């Protein structure tokens, strides 16, 4: 149980384009989903927290107009990187938790490369 999927696993795009990443909880309902970014040899950095049906809460320094998060259902959250630039190249990982536990279950991650 507690499986989280992400799609795509890897994406390469040109500078200025937008990229959408999907995060799905496959066998449980995720009341809360988290989006992280991880640069090489660095720790996970929380970008935002999203609760189903409400606006995401962004961490300080994360541009909400650049990183659009939608959590329309209890099993799906999307992150859209708008007008991507090379400095946005990173490993993006989502996680999900139910309302009854503190544990977060991670998706396999999406490696974004912006040329």
- Rule CB under 8 A: which residues touch other proteins? 32, 34, 42-44, 46, 49, 51, 57, 93, 97, 102-109
Minimum Å gap between C-beta 75 and other proteins is 18
Nearer to other proteins, 60 or 86 (CB): 60
Minimum Å gap between C-beta 36 and other proteins is 8
Nearer to other proteins, 19 or 97 (CB): 97
Cα–Cα dist 25/6, whole Å = 9
Q: Tell me the CA distances in angstroms from 75 to 4, 9, 22, 35, 97, one per residue in order.
A: 9, 18, 10, 14, 10
Minimum Å gap between C-beta 21 and other proteins is 13
Nearer to other proteins, 16 or 108 (CB): 108
Whether residue 27 contacts residue 80, with contact meaning beta carbons closer than 8 Å, is answered with: no
Minimum Å gap between C-beta 60 and other proteins is 12
Whether residue 32 contacts residue 97, with contact meaning beta carbons closer than 8 Å, is answered with: yes
Nearer to other proteins, 38 or 82 (CB): 38
Q: Using DSSP bridges, classify how beta strands 45-51 and 32-38 pair: parallel, antiparallel or unpaired.
A: antiparallel
Quick one: which of 77, 51, 50, 47 has its CA closest to 62? 47
């Amino acid at each position: 149980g507690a499986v989280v999927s992400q799609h795509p696993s890897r994406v390469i795009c040109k500078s200025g384009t937008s990229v959408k990443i999907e995060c799905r909880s496959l066998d449980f309902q995720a009341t809360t989903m988290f989006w992280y970014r991880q640069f090489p040899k660095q720790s996970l950095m929380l970008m935002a927290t999203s609760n189903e049906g409400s606006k995401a809460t962004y961490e300080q320094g994360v541009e909400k107009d650049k990183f659009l998060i939608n959590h329309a259902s209890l099993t799906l959250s999307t992150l859209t990187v708008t007008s991507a630039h090379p400095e946005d190249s990173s490993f993006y990982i989502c996680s999900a938790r139910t309302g009854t536990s503190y544990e977060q279950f991670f998706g396999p991650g999406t490696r974004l490369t912006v040329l």
